[in-house]
Structure 1
Amino acid sequence: MCAIKYITSIVALNMMFSASAFAAKQITLEESASYTKLGDLSIQQTGVPTVGHKYISAEVDKKCNELSGLDGKYCFYRIISATGQESDHKDIHVEIFKK
């Protein structure tokens, strides 16, 4: 019984840490030249950090799926502008791409 709880805990932790591997990934301007642009996204919210990008990736995943039906792991984004401080942006504009 204890072994089952141990295995369940390991599986749960593994899923938590691997979930972000399927999110949209940030690319550079140079890299974007070899991708197909799908659209743009603007995020207006106080407190959006550019460090970590979890919130941005989640929003890009939704928009990419809406635009193309693709899963987040096939979507990429490039931040084209951000206003505010690095840890507290108010407006972030990104371009969304697919490979």
Structure 2
Amino acid sequence: MSDAAERTAPGELPASWSRLERAAAESVLALETWRSRALEAEEEIPRLRAALEEAVAHNGSDVPDDTRAQIRRLRAENTALRSRMTQARRRVSALLAWAGTVGGNR
């Protein structure tokens, strides 16, 4: 018999199955934590965007060139971060859906 195979009594699951279930449960918890943090960050985006636009509108003529360059850089960074958030949201949703199907098969 292979070393990978574990002998168990009929109706009993191997110890490795318990470890797998614990790892899956921990993964689901971690995903839920990350999802919660991502949602909090997304909720803050409109407030920050409005504050930025207001600052630019009120001080548009008084803004130094280096500040304008920094604003352009930050906007580009925000665009990249939004794209990464969208990709992460899709991956988390897929993993949560997968975890739901795995958890439902018990």
TM-score by length of 2: 0.29
Greater radius of gyration (CA): 2
Higher RCO (Cα < 8 Å, 6 or more apart)? 2
Indicate the structure with greater strand content: 1
